[in-house]
Structure 1
Amino acid sequence: MKQINIGGVPEHFNLAWYLTLKEGEYKDKNINLRWHDYYGGTGAMCKALREKEIDIAVILTEGIVKDIINENPSKIIQTFVETPLIWGIHVAHDSPYKTIDDLKGKKAAISRYGSGSHLMAYINAQNNNWDLDKDLNFEVIKNLDGAVEGLSNGKADYFLWEKFTTKPIVDDGKFRRIGNCPSPWPCFVIAAREDFIESNKKDLQAILNIINSTTAEFKDIPSIDKTIANRYEQKLEDVREWLSLTEWSQELIDKKTLDNVQKQLYALNIIPEIVDYKKLTLKL
């Protein structure tokens, strides 16, 4: 049986992977798919792909686009979640900041440079007409636990993270959410290392067929809302709202969408150039 390593964030978006693994569906295809949680998010997964710790990543679109352009030898092989990610803009509960305008020039907590929390801080700054050189400052906090600590002790002033993931922290009175910043593109894609793709196309296609059949019917799984609420310690009404806003994909991200991602990242000086669609993607 061939072992294949896949990485992703331990969040509700990836429950479909857990369900297919639990059912042993990959083993039926002689694939030992091993899931690895990356609490550090996109930046940590980009590093893991480069260092061959994982073969496949379920990863934020903007993060993997940036890293492939920066010579990560990987390719996007499919969109995973079609809808945008809704990033909550959070401050410590007892913070003096009440509005997004109050955060201008303050310090953003980020999991690491090149991460989604880093790149979306730029998007938020652009949305609010801030000076990208003067009004953005960063503090690396590694992960969500680090953000709670960093905002609580004043090391950083605000933090962008997926709003439903952080909702329990808001409900607990550790964070206040003062706004939202949706990503202007599909949020998650599936990427794989080029060397792995070359010698494992058949296995990759089998993996995609399994996960796609599950995501296509994900919302129809009996009591899926209760399963998510229990597993991720979220309120049922929050899960139902998230399900109503989220659509999965079974297709490769198209050129027009990727061109839009690149144009926005280039305008923010996050990438040095706009590259050809085929440098970023591979259709199996």
Structure 2
Amino acid sequence: MSAEKLKIGYVPEHFSTPLYFAEKHFGLDAELIPFPSGTGHMITSLRAGEIDVGVGLTEGWVAGLGKEGLEGDGGYRIVGTYVETPLCWAISTGANREINGIADLKDSKIGVSRIGSGSYVMGFVLADQQGWLSSSSSPPFEVIPLQSFDKLRAAVNDSTADFFMWEHFTSKKYYDNGEIKKVGEIYTPWSSWKIVAKTGIGEGDQRLEEMFEKIDRGVRYFGDKKEESVRYISGKLDYSAADAREWLKTVEFAKSTKGVDVSVIEKTREVLRKAGVIGEGGMKAEEMIGSQKGAQVP
């Protein structure tokens, strides 16, 4: 077995704080590689062999494996649970746009980071909740891929896109400074963050076992050291101390990160299928999982 360090992709937002603590305080022996554009970019890098592990959004991972006509083995499997609570996606438009609520978004232009990313997937979950998918065979939005959060903010102000969806607390600073305007929000109907490993790294790989143990310790430290968490989030990341403290009240990380509850993946898959993001012919939930909670997966 190779002794090379794991390359772990992550999104450099407040949710990454336990990873930082795992590395700083508990010797997580891995190369942490930031992916500001999110889960969709990590999928591309996993399939290219550029990273070994990704910590990203549940819906992005499931959408990536649930597509019909998937090439090869899909490139990764879901092996761990990072965050147990849902994610609040804020729905934003330009500060001076004549868009004032969700009802104004049908048949408009949605900005997304990448096709298949969480920001893409949740647009279709929103459309499904609003009944926009069943009323017409045409898509509910024109999709505009824009890669990064700063480009999404610029796009809704210059009308390249009409709206985009991003995590609430990451967006809040830009509501407060008047750059963008909030027109609604939507919660994921599933626990929000999962850990994946590229295929070829299976259960029993000592590097994965050590990674889960170190991240678990980082999670416990995060829970015990609230003010250190606030200092890190407000000092190194793009949040105010007040917003960091408010976020801490809303989030629950997994106490044991190894393994995945198949029912969570099945629910995610079913919602994405209903929303038209994936079809009937993609991987089943059990096939997406490389390590199942409460059971050994061969």
- Give the TM-score, by structure 1 length: 0.92
What percentage of residue pairs aligned between the two structures are identical?
Answer: 28
Deviation at 1:229, TM superposition (A): 2.1
Query: Which residue pairs with 1:117 in the alignment?
Result: 119
Cα distance in structure 2, aligned partners of 1:140 and 1:209:
36
1:232 aligns with 2:230: no
Q: What is the identity, as a one-letter code, of the residue corresponding to 2:179? A: K
Q: CA deviation at 1:24?
A: 6.0
Q: Which of 191, 214, 218 is residue 218 of structure 2 equivalent to?
A: 214
Separation in 2, partners of 1:134, 1:116 = 18
- The residue type paired with residue 131 of structure 1 is L
CA–CA distance in structure 1, aligned partners of residues 109 and 22 of structure 2: 40
2:51 alignment counterpart? 54
Q: 1:175 pairs with 175, 180, 185, which one?
A: 180
What CA deviation, in whole Å up to 9, does each residue of 1:117-164 have, x standing for no partner? 110000111111213634221111111011022112110000100010
Q: What stretches of structure 1 of length at least 5 have no aligned partner?
A: none
Work out whether 1:158 is the aligned partner of 2:166: no
- Contact conserved, 1:90 with 1:179, CA < 8 A, in 2? yes
Q: How do 1:1-284 and structure 2 match up within 5 A?
A: 2-23=4-25, 25-26=27-28, 31=29, 33-69=30-66, 70=70, 71-131=73-133, 133-197=138-202, 201-223=205-227, 224-249=229-254, 250-251=256-257, 252-273=259-280, 275-283=283-291
Instruction: Tell me, in whole angstroms, the C-alpha distance in 1 between the residues paired with 2:284 and 2:128.
Output: 25
What CA distance in whole angstroms lies between the structure 2 residues aligned with 1:21 and 1:128? Answer: 42
Shift of residue 78, structure 1, vs aligned partner: 0.8
Cα distance in structure 2, aligned partners of 1:131 and 1:88 = 21
Q: Following the alignment from structure 1 to structure 2, what is the Cα–Cα distance between the partners of residues 256 and 3? A: 32
Distance, in Å, in 2 between the alignment partners of 1:242 and 1:24 is 24
Which shows bigger deviation, 33-42 or 245-254? 245-254
Partners in 1 of 2:273 and 2:33 — Cα distance?
31
Q: Contact 1:219/1:243 (CA < 8 Å) preserved in 2?
A: no
Would the aligned equivalents of 1:81 and 1:248 in 2 still touch at CA under 8 Å? Answer: yes
Instruction: Return the alpha-carbon distance in structure 2 between the equivalents of residues 277 and 129 of structure 1.
Output: 25
Distance 1:171 1:88, change over 3 A: same
Gaps of 5+ in 2: none
CA displacement, residues 17-51 of structure 1 (integer Å, 9 cap, x when unaligned): 1222233613xxxx4x1111112211100000000
SS in 2 for 1:65: helix
Displacement after TM superposition at 1:222 (Å): 4.8
| 1:211 positional shift | 0.4
**1:220-250, Cα deviation, whole Å (9 max, x unpaired):** 2151223322222322232222111100112
CA distance in 1, matches of 2:177, 2:42: 29
Total equivalences in the alignment: 278
For residues 277 and 51 of structure 2, the distance between their equivalents in structure 1, rounded to whole angstroms, comes to 25
- The one-letter code of the counterpart of 1:18 is Y
2:128 counterpart letter in structure 1? Q
Amino acid at match of 2:214: I
Shift of residue 190, structure 1, vs aligned partner: 0.4
Please report the RMSD computed on the Cα atoms of aligned residues, expressed in angstroms.
Answer: 1.8
Task: Give me the whole-angstrom Cα distance separating, in 2, the residues matched to 1:235 and 1:265.
Answer: 34
TM normalised by structure 2 equals: 0.88
Instruction: Give the letter aligned to residue 277 of structure 2.
Output: I
Contact 2:133 2:275 in 1 (8 A): no
